[in-house]
Each structure stands twice: as C-alpha cells, then as structure tokens.
Chains A and B, each alone.
Chain A
Amino acid sequence: EMQLLESGGGLVQPGGSLRLSCAASGFTISNFAMYWVRQAPGKGLEWVSAIIPSGAYTFYADSVKGRFTISRDNSNNILFLQMNSLRAEDTALYYCVKGTSSYYFDYWGQGTLVTVSS
C-alpha cells in the first residue's frame, strides 16, 4: 500500500525557516514526479513545487521561487521541502503528493500544518 507521511510543520516567526519531510512507503519516489501542494485554512489548493523522476529538474510556483527548495533522499525514500524567509501568507496545510505516470496527482499525504505568525 502506498503511503506518504509528512512531518516538520509547526509555528514559525515571519522570516524564519522550516524543513518539511515526507516519508514514502509502498513505492520508490525516484520513479515518479513528486510534488508539494498547499492549502491555506478554508481556501483552495495551491501547487507549490515539483521534482521530476530523474531529479534533474525542479519547479516552483512564483509565490515561493527563491525561498523554497524541493529535494529528495533516494536511499531513504524521503521528499523534502526547505522553506526559508517564511511569510504569513505561507500559512497552510502542506501536502506531499505522488505524481502519476502522466504527471497528475494520485496519492496524497495527510499534510503537515505550517503557521507563520509572530
């Protein structure tokens, strides 16, 4: 059974940093595109970042470009999101998502909550 388990969320002050982790089981993350998608409280879905199977390319939403970095540890099957210079508008539930073979989203973790507030 495929599972994604996020961790690393919490309360952080504006300008601070957090590193989110997503431990995958039941599949190998390097065989698929992997994503981070966030959802602010009571709001819609926002695509944040992606890493393609080869790991050669990463992509970011304009709202996080230059502040967030996606990466992965293939040996431990873990996806990461390093978030720097956090802002109040980054407050959201962050989902780790597995891509399908055609780059849609099929498996979602339960999310980890990031709150940026002083």
Chain B
Amino acid sequence: EIVLTQSPATLSLSPGERATLSCRASQSVSSYLAWYQQKPGQTPRLLIYDASNRATGIPARFSGSGSGTDFTLTISSLEPEDFAVYYCHHRSDWPRTFGQGTKVEI
C-alpha cells in the first residue's frame, strides 16, 4: 500500500499568515492526490483534487501543487475559519490511504 506522510504534524500560525502543508507519498501517485479539511465535530470537506484543482466553492486562497511523490497545500492568508486538520489522500491504486493529518492551529 502507498503510505502518505504529512508534515508538519502541527502548524502554529496567526490569521493572515501563509500556511504550507506537505504530503509525501511512498511511491508515485501521479497527480491523483486530494486534500480535505476537517473541523472539530464536522465531516471532512474536499478542498483540492488531482493535486491542484479546487473543489466547488473552495476559496482561491487554497491552492495545491505537486506530482509524483511530493505535494503541497498552501493557504495564502489564513482566515479564522481555516484553523482545522488537513488530510491528504490518494486515488492512485487500491487500497486508498490517507495521510495522518496536519493540524493548523492558532
């Protein structure tokens, strides 16, 4: 199975700052990678799919990049509602897997 490793585990930032989250795959997943946001008590929300495409209704401050084994989620200027846990996920092969998550905290 493909292992996704996210870093850092926790990112402590302030509103208005730029957040850069990393996801590394144990083998190439091409561009078949997505990012999800999960807030406490809520279900995950799809942010980015196929590495760099924003899902419907996702603000432009969220962007994704990368291919192969190294991927990045960037939040250009953090809003108060962006403090949450972010997970990467691949659809390159079966079984699907998630990264362990990065918590973005104030």
Name A's B-contacting residues (CB within 8 A). 35, 44-47, 50, 59-62, 95, 100, 102-106, 108-111
| 3 A-B pairs closest in CB distance | A108-B43, A47-B96, A59-B94
How many inter-chain contacts with C-beta < 8 Å in the A-B complex?
53
A-contacting 9-mer, from B15-23, B44-52, B67-75:
B44-52
Can you list 16 contacts pairing A with B, beta carbon distance less than 8 Å? Answer: A44-B85, A44-B87, A44-B99, A45-B44, A45-B89, A47-B96, A60-B95, A61-B95, A95-B43, A100-B49, A103-B91, A104-B46, A104-B91, A105-B36, A105-B44, A110-B43
Q: What are the residues of chain B within 8 A of A100 when measuring CB–CB? A: 46, 49
A86 to B104, CA, bound (A): 34
B25 within 8 A of A: no
**Nearest chain A CB to B86 CB, angstrom units:** 11
With A95-B43, A106-B55 already in contact, the answer to whether A47 and B95 are too (CB < 8 A) is yes
Chain B contacts with A in 26-71, Cβ cutoff 8 A:
34, 36, 38, 43-44, 46, 49-50, 55
A59 to B87, CA, bound (A): 21
B7 within 8 A of A: no
Asked whether, in the complex, the Cβ of A50 is within 8 Å of the Cβ of B101, the reply is no
A35 to B36, CA, bound (A): 16
Asked whether, in the complex, the Cβ of A47 is within 8 Å of the Cβ of B43, the reply is no
Asked whether, in the complex, the Cβ of B97 is within 8 Å of the Cβ of A105, the reply is no
Asked whether, in the complex, the Cβ of B43 is within 8 Å of the Cβ of A44, the reply is no
Asked whether, in the complex, the Cβ of B87 is within 8 Å of the Cβ of A45, the reply is yes
Set B46, B85, B97: member contacting A47, Cβ < 8 A: B97
Q: What are the residues of chain B within 8 A of A103 when measuring CB–CB? A: 91
A62 to B1, CA, bound (A): 9
Residue of B nearest to A4 (CB): B43
Asked whether, in the complex, the Cβ of A104 is within 8 Å of the Cβ of B98, the reply is no
**Nearest chain A CB to B44 CB, angstrom units:** 6
